[in-house]
Amino acid sequence: MQSGRVCLREALEAHFFRGEFSVFIKMQFMLLFSRQGKLRLQKWYVPLSDKEKKKITRELVQTVLARKPKMCSFLEWRDLKIVYKRYASLYFCCAIEDQDNELITLEIIHRYVELLDKYFGSVCELDIIFNFEKAYFILDEFLLGGEAQETSKKNVLKAIEQADLLQENIDFQMRLFSGVMVPNMVSESSGLFQTS
């Protein structure tokens, strides 16, 4: 526990050098991982080494997966607060600063799930696995630098769809593949909203 704190501190101290101070960063990172502990998406809003990122991920996945369903969605972890919520087979997990608003962060997660759901059409874990780049693009339209950029669902989707219109080469095989090649992964293909 202590060592982890030191590592984050070191990273932050490195930034002090350039005048940065941690408190202004709302969200420090967001992780999406499955019930099996597989990381599906990671977004870091503080600069950390790959090694440190892996360590944090490992620890956090373990901690969150060990929690029981009715427990509260917040926990203190190192010097941060973790806000998490499970949607079907996926856990969405954000790290925020001590004085930040937990409930609004919970709704940040929900809005992101709504955006994914709307974009993919009842989203499931498989959509995020096979279209991971899209999941990142949507996140970037919604949150930038750990802060809410645009909270209107319509506006975010408009931005993404505009981008899609700019594309050529629409490939219809995508969906077929995901369905055919992994028929037995029921949990990953169940809609995130269905069981929540």
Partner 1 sequence: MPAVSKGDGMRGLAVFISDIRNCKSKEAEIKRINKELANIRSKFKGDKALDGYSKKKYVCKLLFIFLLGHDIDFGHMEAVNLLSSNKYTEKQIGYLFISVLVNSNSELIRLINNAIKNDLSSRNPTFMCLALHCIANVGSREMAEAFASEIPRILVAGDTMDSVKQSAALCLLRLYKTSPDLVLMGEWTSRVVHLLNDQHMGVVTAAISLITCLSQKNPDEFKTCVSLAVSRLSRIVSSASTDLQDYTYYFVPAPWLSCKLLRLLQCYPPPEDGAVKGRLVECLETILNKAQEPPKSKKVQHSNAKNAILFEAISLIIHYDSEPNLLVRACNQLGQFLQHRETNLRYLALESMCTLASSEFSHEAVKTHIETVINALKTERDVSVRQRAADLLYAMCDRSNAKQIVAEMLSYLETADYSIREEMVLKVAILAEKYAVDYSWYVDTILNLIRIAGDYVSEEVWYRVIQIVINRDDVQGYAAKTVFEALQAPACHENMVKVGGYILGEFGNLIAGDPRSSPLVQFNLLHSKFHLCSVPTRALLLSAYIKFINLFPETKATIQEVLRCDSQIRNSDVELQQRAVEYLKLSSIASTDVLATVLEEMPPFPERESSILAKLKKKKGPGAVSVTELEDNKREGGELNGGGERGPDTSAMSTPSPSADLLGIRSAVPVGAAPASAGSLLVDVFSEAGPAAVSAAVNDDGFLRFVCKNNGVLFENQLLQIGIKSEYRQNLGRMYLFYGNKTSVQFASFTTTVSCPGELQLQLNVQTKPVEPLVEGGAQIQQVLNIECLTDFSEAPLLNIKFRYGGALQNLTLKLPVTINKFFQPTEMASQDFFQRWKQLSQPTQEAQKIFKASHGMDTEVLKAKLLGLGTALLDNVDPNPENYVCAGVIQTKGQQVGCLLRLEPNAQAQMYRLTLRCSKDSVSKRLCELLAEQF
- The residues pairing with 95 across neighbouring beta strands, listed in sequence order, are 29, 82
The C-alpha angle with vertex 48 and arms to 128 and 86, in degrees rounded to 5, equals 35
Determine if 15 is a binding residue for partner 1 (CB under 8 A): yes
Verify binding: residue 193, partner 1, rule CB under 8 A: no
Q: Which of 7, 11, 65, 148 binds partner 1 (CB under 8 A)?
A: 148
Quick check: 110 binds partner 1 (CB under 8 A)? yes
Q: Which is nearer to partner 1, 3 or 168 (CB)?
A: 168
Maximum alpha-carbon separation in the chain: 53
Any idea how long the chain is?
196
| Residue 55 binds to partner 1 (criterion: CB under 8 A) | no
Which position among 52, 59, 65, 140 is part of the footprint of partner 1 (CB under 8 A)?
Answer: 140
Q: How far is CA 160 from CA 35, 102, 153, 154, 164, in A?
A: 29, 28, 11, 10, 6
What is the Cα–Cα distance from 146 to 80, expressed in whole angstroms?
14
Residue 19 to residue 11: CA distance in whole angstroms: 13
* Of 29-37, 87-95, 124-132: span binding partner 1 (CB under 8 A): 124-132
Between 3 and 70, name the residue whose CB sits nearer to partner 1: 70
Among residues 3, 18, 66, 183, the one that binds partner 1 under rule CB under 8 A: 18
Tokens of 39: 């990381």
Answer yes or no: are the C-beta atoms of 99 and 110 closer than 8 Å: no
Tell me how many residues contact partner 1 (CB under 8 A).
81
When asked if residue 163 is in the footprint of partner 1 (CB under 8 A), the reply is yes
Which of 101, 186, 194, 195 touches partner 1 (CB under 8 A)? Answer: 101
